[in-house]
Amino acid sequence: MPEISEIAKGVLAGDKRSIAKAITIAENSPEEAQSLIATIYPHTGKAHIIGLTGPGGAGKSTLIEKMVREYRRRGKTVGVIAVDPTSPYTGGAFLGDRIRMQELTTDNGVFIRSMATRNNPGGIAKATKDAVKILDASGKDVIIVETVGAGQSEVEIIKVAQTIIVIHAPGLGDEIQAIKAGIMEIADIFVVNKADRENADKTVMDIQAMLQLDNKEKAWTPPIIKTVALTGEGVPQLIEKIEEHWRYLQKGALHKRSLEKAEAELVEAIKEKVTSSIIEKLKREKRFEEILRRIVEREIDPASAAEKLLNQILE
Amino acid sequence: MQSGRKIRVLIAKPGLDSHDRGAKVVARALRDAGMEVIYTGLRQTPEQIVETALQEDVDVIGLSILSGAHMALFPRIMELLKEKGLTDVLVFAGGIIPEEDIPELKKMGIKEVFGPGTSTETIIKYVLENAPKRK
Amino acid sequence: MFDRQKIEEIAKERERWEKSTLPNWIKQCPERQKEFKNHSGMTIKGLYTPEDIKDMDYMRDLGFPGEYPFTRGLHATMYRGRLWTMRMFAGYGTAEDTNKRFKYLLSEGETGLSTAFDYPTIMGYDSDHPMARGEVGVCGVAISSLQDMEVLFDGIPLDKVTTSMTINGPASVLLAMYIAVGDKQGVPREKLGGTTQNDNLKEFFAQKLCIFPPQPSLKLSVDIIEYCARYLPKWNPISISGYHIREAGATAVQELAFTLYDGIAYVEETLKRGLKVDDFAPRLSFFFASHNDFFEEIAKFRAARRLWARIMKERFHAKNPRSMWMRMHVQTSGCTLTAQQPLNNIVRTTIQALAAVLGGTQSLHTNSFDEALCLPTEESVRVALRTQQIIAYESGVANTVDPLAGSYYVEALTNEMEEKAMEYIQKIDDMGGVIPAIEKGFFQKEIADSAYRYQREIDEKKRILVGVNEYTIEGEEIPVKLLRVDPSVEKKQIERLQKLRRERDNRKVKEVLEKLHYAAEKDENLMPTIIEAVKAYATLGEIMDVLRKVYGEYKELIII
């Protein structure tokens, strides 16, 4: 296995094998990932990160394929990360999103990677963020992250994006209301795909109604774009809107969001490091089991135990 | 906090062969055995298969073919894998592949060929035992 | 069908038997399984009696052969008048190779031709297309132009044979070529007899040879139905297929239901074009598999006939009895054949063929025993043909119509098949029809689940496959001779194609392809223009490329 520094060098040079290996490291080895990310981090921050989520059957993968083609036509390079759920029973995952994008596989300006949630919401969110950084550092102009909008962890994943697109389609049996709250609120653009269907306009109206209920003052009003992903209809307009959002973000909102993201990541990183180092220390000093026993036997409650421990350690 | 490392398998259907029942059953069985399975659908070119294996950093590739075109397609796949530096990936094949072709396929680097009637258990066991052990 | 009082008496006696004779016997000899189920999920009882069919009405549910509801057969005398057509699926290598195999089979006694095309042809690619590399002539005959078609039928008079062509997306092109060959031979078009499979709907969830998205694919299928209704009265424009659905892993009930539903979709779509149902329905035909569960298959065939007749009468108000005919071709199952101890496959094929005959099929293909290893050799395909001939001439089953009618088991099973198929049909109706169901992945999920369940049963030895998971031979050596396709076939085809492209009138080709593009965009029936194109020696790939441009290409929905 090549050295981390070799891989990092490869990532910065845009070498696909290195990018692939780097993402694997991000998924599996936190220590090596940290060292890798540290090396490439100064080269990130250039890409436009787009999140795309929505119910199964809405046509996400088909739409992404058309979006990537449109970006390629405009001379941009694209990275795609497709996230699929891991089976809670078997621990395995079926990663089938690339099927719709397979013709793009041999385009040198496109990199597609499938990732499984591995039943670890915190883990996949971090791994996805790292994968995005890797693709960013490798020089991709646009990075698209795709998830199925089915759970709370998907909301976490999609927050890595600067422009969040929520896609829906008529006749899926999912009422608009069923789209997870949390996703509706952070959407920057709505897409109604399969717009050639009869009830497409009703879906548009349902989304408009939902948006009107939200009476927060918004500087950016999320537009609703109609597309027919199968034929590509509406996709150039969608890309235009995404570019428009990008320009809007540059005026100040991007910086604000970047600060918020940096804070969230920093806090998460501190939490992770503090927690693991404390637990390690306790286990090393063989105090861990003792504390657990006391909690179970109701001698002390967990919050008080934590406070006590922290006070002891911080002395 | 990390989850255990998973074996990543690419199940691929090279060429125009459209029989995907076996490939899909194997994909599902491997998923149910805890692996991450990437299936790219029908009609993949050797170039698409190898590029996918590279981008997805897979540990294993399973090639499924029932059309008789394996002697034309597999050499190209193995050649490309070598070119791209993916020589540590475990490659196995399945489908309708005459016994007499197997020695040559093995020489090319295809480690095992599973004929009709192979149980999914056998394939799962084989992959678990032979997938490259990576850190 | 039975006297109510007699049924009650039998019921009483049966209860007595179940309380005394049966348990005494089971004590000495327990049953081999806790329960017996067929793969469709139906529980098979130990014994069937008149009670199991007590609500049947002979005239309503069975009737006489040649009369509604046709359960007992489409024709009054069935095989006493005319045996089923022995139609062996054949094709490999170049048109010359397959022409030779056609003539061999005809000389050995087959009574109809059936053409297997290679993968490039099936997917609408010429033999010199990059996607065709390594596949030319390997599992069927390579046909890239009318020139190849002329060679394929050289010396075969099209007014003396009927030909089935297993082709779907490019069916219009192959049919156009067949018509052109007929024209050249001087055979009037009204005399051309045969079948184009042309069932694009099942491609989306079974055979997977889809080229275009669902709507245009359906349009192309109906183009052929419409064209044949007007100009080719002896041609079966479509073979609505369950074979591939079954081979992909579906159960017998699913095969029956999904096939019939596809049929419903084709009828509805054709009616939208303004034709009356009796104008085209008599020429619709069907294609089923025959698997190992002998009685399940027989019940399936009989239920299919009755169910289709009822659908045509009640749902579509057909008046002509021929519109209610379910004319079927059956192929014995390929996926049940084993690579291990291949001679055993002769036995499997025999059981499956017998079921098809007892089920009343019009036409039959029997697989060769080396099917799980390669394409059939002359010797193995001859044995397969002989299987049909032995059934026809030596077994006696063809000497009376529908011999199993009245069997308590077979009739009960036929009824249950029909019931369960109707449940599926209702479900698909509720989903809005076949295309919404395809998009939702409904068929794909049902089939994937059945396929997976089947494999689990074999892995867990709940289902025995002789020679594979039981009665195996350690270190078996397969002694059979294999058919290998000569790799020079690809080279020959490419040269031939390049010569054709040089020597034809390319201006004319360009003109007619533009005409085709225009006609496709205007949503016209494309058959006439395609016939013009093939006569100008436009190639299959060139014609399909025009359609690909207009309709787009399809990427399947994967459900494992």
**pLDDT per residue of chain C (560 residues) written in tens, 0 to 9:** 789 999 999 999 999 999 999 999 999 999 999 999 999 999 999 999 999 999 999 999 999 999 999 999 999 999 999 999 999 999 999 999 999 999 999 999 999 999 999 999 999 999 999 999 999 999 899 999 999 999 999 999 999 999 999 999 999 999 999 999 999 999 999 999 999 999 999 999 998 888 998 889 999 999 999 999 999 999 999 999 999 999 999 999 999 999 999 999 999 999 999 999 999 999 999 999 999 999 999 999 999 999 999 999 999 999 999 999 999 999 999 999 999 999 999 999 999 999 999 999 999 999 999 988 888 889 999 999 999 999 999 999 999 999 999 999 999 999 999 999 999 999 999 999 998 899 889 999 999 999 999 999 999 999 999 999 999 998 887 656 677 888 899 999 999 999 999 999 999 999 999 999 999 999 999 999 999 999 999 999 999 999 999 998 887 777 88
pLDDT on residue A119: 84
Chain C stretch 188-227, residues whose beta carbon is closer than 8 A to a beta carbon of chain A: 213
Q: What is the pLDDT of residues B17-47, one digit of tens each?
A: 999 999 999 999 999 999 999 999 999 999 9
Q: Which residue of B has its CA nearest to C452?
A: B25
Minimal Cβ distance to C134: which of B20, B41, B69: B69
Please tell me which residue, A191 or A158, carries the higher pLDDT value: A191
Which region among A107-111, A291-295, C405-409 has the lowest average model confidence (pLDDT)?
A291-295
For B66, C338, C442, the CA distances from B19, given in Å and listed in that order, are 7, 16, 19
For residues C256 and C205, give the distance between their C-alpha atoms in angstroms, rounded to a whole number: 15
Best to test chain A binding among B3, B32, B120 (most A CBs inside 10 Å) = B3
- Would the CB atoms of A230 and C556 count as touching at under 8 Å? no
pLDDT score of B1 more than 70: no
Q: What is the pLDDT of residues A188-222, one digit of tens each?
A: 999 999 998 888 998 899 888 888 877 666 788 89
DSSP A243: H
Dihedral angle over CA of A291, A293, A298, A301, nearest 10: 30
The residues near C226 (Cβ < 8 Å, ≥ 6 apart) are: C270, C273, C275, C280, C525
DSSP C42: P
Q: What is the pLDDT of residues B63-98, one digit of tens each?
A: 999 998 999 999 999 999 999 999 999 999 999 998
Estimate the share of chain A in helix, then strand, then coil, as percent rounded to the nearest 5: 55, 15, 30
pLDDT on residue B4: 67
pLDDT on residue C355: 98
- Would the CB atoms of B67 and C558 count as touching at under 8 Å? no
Backbone angles phi, psi at C235, to 5 degrees: -95, 135
Would you say the pTM of this structure is higher than 0.80? yes
Mark C101-128 as b/e (b = at least 16 C-beta within 10 Å). bbeebbeeebbbbbbbbbbbbbbbbbbb
Interior angle at CA C535, CA C530 and CA C540, nearest 5: 55
Specify whether the CB–CB gap between C290 and C331 falls below 8 A.
yes
pLDDT on residue C248: 95
Instruction: Compute the Cα dihedral for C196, C197, C201, C205 and give only its sign.
Output: negative
Dihedral angle over CA of A182, A185, A187, A191, nearest 10: 90
One-letter identity of residue C248: A
Which region among A164-168, A287-291, B62-66, C222-226 has the lowest average model confidence (pLDDT)?
A287-291
Chains contacting chain C through 3 or more C-beta pairs under 8 A = A, B
One-letter identity of residue C249: G
For residues C401 and C65, give the distance between their C-alpha atoms in angstroms, rounded to a whole number: 8
- Would the CB atoms of C555 and A100 count as touching at under 8 Å? yes
Instruction: Collect all residues of chain B within an 8 Å Cβ-Cβ radius of residue A29.
Output: 2, 135
Dihedral angle over CA of C530, C536, C537, C542, nearest 10: -50
Minimal C-alpha gap between C367 and chain B (Å): 16
Q: What is the pLDDT of residues A21-58, one digit of tens each?
A: 999 999 998 889 999 999 999 999 999 999 999 888 88
For A57, A146, A192, the CA distances from A171, given in Å and listed in that order, are 10, 21, 11
Q: Which of B2, B3, B22, B5 is nearest to B13 (CA)?
A: B22
Specify whether the CB–CB gap between C1 and C53 falls below 8 A.
yes
Chain B stretch 55-94, residues whose beta carbon is closer than 8 A to a beta carbon of chain A: 55-57, 84-85
- Counted residue by residue, chain B has a size of 135
DSSP-based three-state secondary structure for C9: helix
- B·C CB contacts under 8 A: 100
pLDDT on residue C360: 97
Minimal C-alpha gap between B2 and chain A (Å): 6
Six token digits for residue C457: 């049963």
Q: Which residue shows structure tokens 């981390």?
A: A4
The residues near B3 (Cβ < 8 Å, ≥ 6 apart) are: A118, A119, A120, A123
DSSP-based three-state secondary structure for A212: helix
Helices (H), A176-229: 183-186, 200-213
Task: Provide the pLDDT confidence category of residue B2 given band limits of 50, 70 and 90.
Answer: very low
Q: Which residue shows structure tokens 């109510």?
A: C4
- Would the CB atoms of A230 and C213 count as touching at under 8 Å? yes
DSSP A96: -
Q: Which residue of C has its CA nearest to B15?
A: C131
Specify whether the CB–CB gap between C361 and C84 falls below 8 A.
yes
Cis peptide before C69 (omega within 30 of 0): yes
Backbone angles phi, psi at B109, to 5 degrees: 120, 0
Instruction: Collect all residues of chain A within an 8 Å Cβ-Cβ radius of residue C210.
Output: none
Q: Which of A88, A213, A227 is nearest to A168 (CA)?
A: A227
Specify whether the CB–CB gap between B88 and A2 falls below 8 A.
no
Six token digits for residue B82: 């070598």
- Would the CB atoms of B52 and A119 count as touching at under 8 Å? no
Q: Which residue of A has its CA nearest to C439?
A: A57
Minimal Cβ distance to C552: which of A100, A171, A230: A230
DSSP-based three-state secondary structure for B36: strand
For residues C199 and A131, give the distance between their C-alpha atoms in angstroms, rounded to a whole number: 45
For residues C270 and C127, give the distance between their C-alpha atoms in angstroms, rounded to a whole number: 33
DSSP-based three-state secondary structure for C168: coil
Best to test chain A binding among C204, C521, C555 (most A CBs inside 10 Å) = C555
Six token digits for residue A280: 């390690």
Mean pLDDT value of segment A81-107: 93
Minimal Cβ distance to A23: which of B1, B32, B57: B57
Backbone angles phi, psi at C55, to 5 degrees: -90, 5
Cis peptide before A236 (omega within 30 of 0): no
- Counted residue by residue, chain C has a size of 560
Q: Does the beta carbon of C351 lie under 8 angstroms from any beta carbon of chain B? A: no
pLDDT on residue A113: 98
pLDDT on residue A207: 87
For residues C210 and C208, give the distance between their C-alpha atoms in angstroms, rounded to a whole number: 5
Minimal C-alpha gap between B12 and chain C (Å): 13
Q: Which of C355, C438, C385, C410 is nearest to C101 (CA)?
A: C385
- Would the CB atoms of C556 and A99 count as touching at under 8 Å? yes
- Would the CB atoms of A171 and C560 count as touching at under 8 Å? no
pLDDT score of A302 more than 60: yes
Minimal Cβ distance to A92: which of B30, B39, B55: B30
Q: Which of C220, C324, C323 is nearest to C273 (CA)?
A: C220
DSSP C30: -
pLDDT on residue A54: 87
Specify whether the CB–CB gap between A93 and A203 falls below 8 A.
no
Instruction: Collect all residues of chain C within an 8 Å Cβ-Cβ radius of residue B72.
Output: 133-135, 487
For residues A138 and C433, give the distance between their C-alpha atoms in angstroms, rounded to a whole number: 47
Q: Does the beta carbon of C430 lie under 8 angstroms from any beta carbon of chain A? A: no
| Chain-centroid distance, C-alpha C249 | 15
For residues A169 and A200, give the distance between their C-alpha atoms in angstroms, rounded to a whole number: 7
Q: Which residue shows structure tokens 């990092």?
A: A8
Best to test chain C binding among A68, A100, A196 (most C CBs inside 10 Å) = A100
Minimal C-alpha gap between B33 and chain A (Å): 6
Q: Considering only CB atoms, which residues of chain B are within 8 Å of chain C?
A: 15-21, 24-25, 27-29, 31, 39, 41-43, 45, 67-69, 71-73, 96, 98-100, 115-117, 119-121
Minimal C-alpha gap between A107 and chain B (Å): 10
Specify whether the CB–CB gap between C251 and C292 falls below 8 A.
no
Share of chain C above pLDDT 90, in %: 91
Instruction: Collect all residues of chain A within an 8 Å Cβ-Cβ radius of residue B5.
Output: 27-28
